[in-house]
Amino acid sequence: MDAQKIALVQRTFEQRVRPIAHEAGEIMYLRLFEMDPSLKPLFKGDIKRQGEMLMTAIGLAIQSLDNPEQVKIETKQLGKRHAGYGVQSTNFNVFGAALMWALEQVIGADFTPEVKEAWGEAYAVLAQAMREATHE
């Protein structure tokens, strides 16, 4: 990712997503379960709390986007934990689609094609590291 795309992702997260992270996470999970109900049993406990943890993890990862090695280390650890929960590498496609949909809802008019492309690249970086970890 180039510096401009990293800045777009970081700025939109800080300005539009972080202030309502609990809602954004819940929106994402509701969309995920709508898209693929078979994933719901993988997530135990309160979905609002799960959504908050998701947005915290995403926030930490995108803060490090300008340090790809750090992102890989952190994200692989997260991927290993999720593999232990039963997440399959194929689940990342539907998760990514649900996340992008939720971001569009939360970011609204500022979710321009340029911002969407930047978020897509950011998710691809994070998902690749997590996919690799599910195979280890």
pLDDT at 25: 93
pLDDT at 7: 96
Examine the pLDDT at 4 and tell me if it is beyond 90: yes
User: How many CA atoms are closer than 13 Å to the CA of 72, on its beta-carbon side?
Assistant: 5
pLDDT tens for each residue of 20-29 = 998 999 999 9
pLDDT at 18: 93
Please give the Cα distance from 35 to 11 (Å, whole number). Answer: 28
pLDDT tens for each residue of 37-84 = 998 888 877 888 888 888 988 898 888 888 888 877 777 777 777 666
How much is the pTM? 0.88
- Tell me the two tokens of residue 117: 């492309």
- Classified by CATH at the fold level, domain 3-134 comes out as Globin-like (1.10.490)
Q: Tell me which residue of 101, 103, 92 sits closest to 132, measured CA to CA.
A: 92
